[in-house]
């Protein structure tokens, strides 16, 4: 079950964190993985890790906010069976404290970046008779989080984008779903805590962990397992859906 043999998977932001876990798992399941990254070091390291484990992977340095770069990169890849729109950045701030430049930066990467990849991938999928798209949204699309105005706005757009694409391409055999993680323990989280709370890192980590009712952060590998299911043939009857993976945050958080 959940084989991706003979399938080509493009994963944006695939060099680290959730994207890396998805890339590694998809390669284990037989996919030819294409990592889209700005960070050459992380992209190269993840690609080498996959290849050393017997998988097939390559990386492409590309700024997803630049449409022509994305189109050229995707056309060079050619066959795209699976697109995982995972690249994204965060920002701390409320509506009245978010500078225009910061808002634009988040929108350019999180929203325009996903749009650019859809713009480039969908024609390739249509030409080959179908495909699967998975967008990384967030619990921030469904609940109010303190000081996450720009980030929440961008992830709400991703959720709406998912519904639109699923509806528009029903008859082209293209499925589109999204996943909404809560806090996942990645190097980004460790870096965020170290930068903003250098004097009480353990306390903040514990606080963030316990904000999920289940009592801990998620693991990138757990998100990757959900992504694998949704991108596999076994999920062929699923489109236009968002799947929280949040330790109970949305439904049972008290």
Catalytic residues: 151
Task: Give the C-alpha distances (Å, rounded to integers) separating 126 from 86, 129, 130.
Answer: 21, 5, 5
Can you tell me which residue has the tokens 């390291």?
45
Burial annotation 71-104 (CB, 10 A radius, 16+ → b, else e): bebbeebeebbbbbbbbbbebebeeeebeeebbe
* Whole-number CA gyration radius for the chain: 18
Pick the closest to residue 12 from 4, 3, 23 (CA basis). Answer: 23
What phi, psi does 91 have (nearest 5°)?
-155, 140
Strand partners for 184: 218
Tokens, residue 29:
């399941």
d(CA 193, CA 25): 27
Nearest to 34 by CA among 130, 158, 108, 120: 120
Can you tell me whether residue 91 is helix, strand or coil? Answer: coil
SS3 82: strand
Task: Please provide residue 58's backbone torsions phi and psi, each rounded to the nearest 5 degrees.
Answer: -145, 160
Can you read off the two tokens belonging to residue 219? Answer: 């693991």
């Amino acid at each position: 079950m959940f084989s991706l043999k003979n399938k080509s998977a493009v994963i944006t932001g695939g060099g680290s964190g959730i994207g890396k876990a998805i890339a590694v798992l998809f390669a284990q399941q037989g996919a030819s993985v294409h990592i889209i990254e700005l960070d050459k070091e992380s992209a190269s390291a993840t690609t080498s890790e996959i290849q050393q484990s017997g998988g097939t992977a390559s990386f492409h340095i590309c700024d997803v906010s630049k449409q022509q770069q994305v189109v050229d990169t995707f056309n060079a890849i050619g066959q795209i069976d699976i697109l995982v729109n995972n690249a994204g950045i965060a920002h701390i701030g409320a509506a009245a404290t978010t500078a225009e430049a910061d808002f634009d930066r988040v929108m350019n990467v999180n929203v325009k970046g996903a749009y650019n990849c859809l713009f480039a991938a969908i024609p390739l999928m249509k030409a080959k008779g179908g495909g699967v798209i998975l967008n990384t949204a967030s619990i921030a699309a469904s609940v109010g989080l303190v000081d996450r105005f720009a980030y929440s706005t961008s992830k709400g757009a991703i959720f709406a984008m998912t519904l639109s694409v699923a509806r528009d391409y029903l008859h082209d055999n293209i499925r589109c779903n999204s996943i909404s993680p809560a806090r996942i323990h990645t190097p980004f989280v460790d870096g965020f805590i170290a930068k903003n709370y250098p004097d009480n890192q353990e306390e903040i980590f514990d606080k963030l962990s316990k904000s999920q009712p289940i009592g801990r952060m998620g693991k990138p590998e757990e998100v990757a397992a959900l992504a694998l299911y949704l991108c596999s043939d076994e999920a062929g009857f699923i489109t236009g859906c968002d799947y929280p993976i949040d330790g109970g945050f949305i439904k049972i958080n008290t």
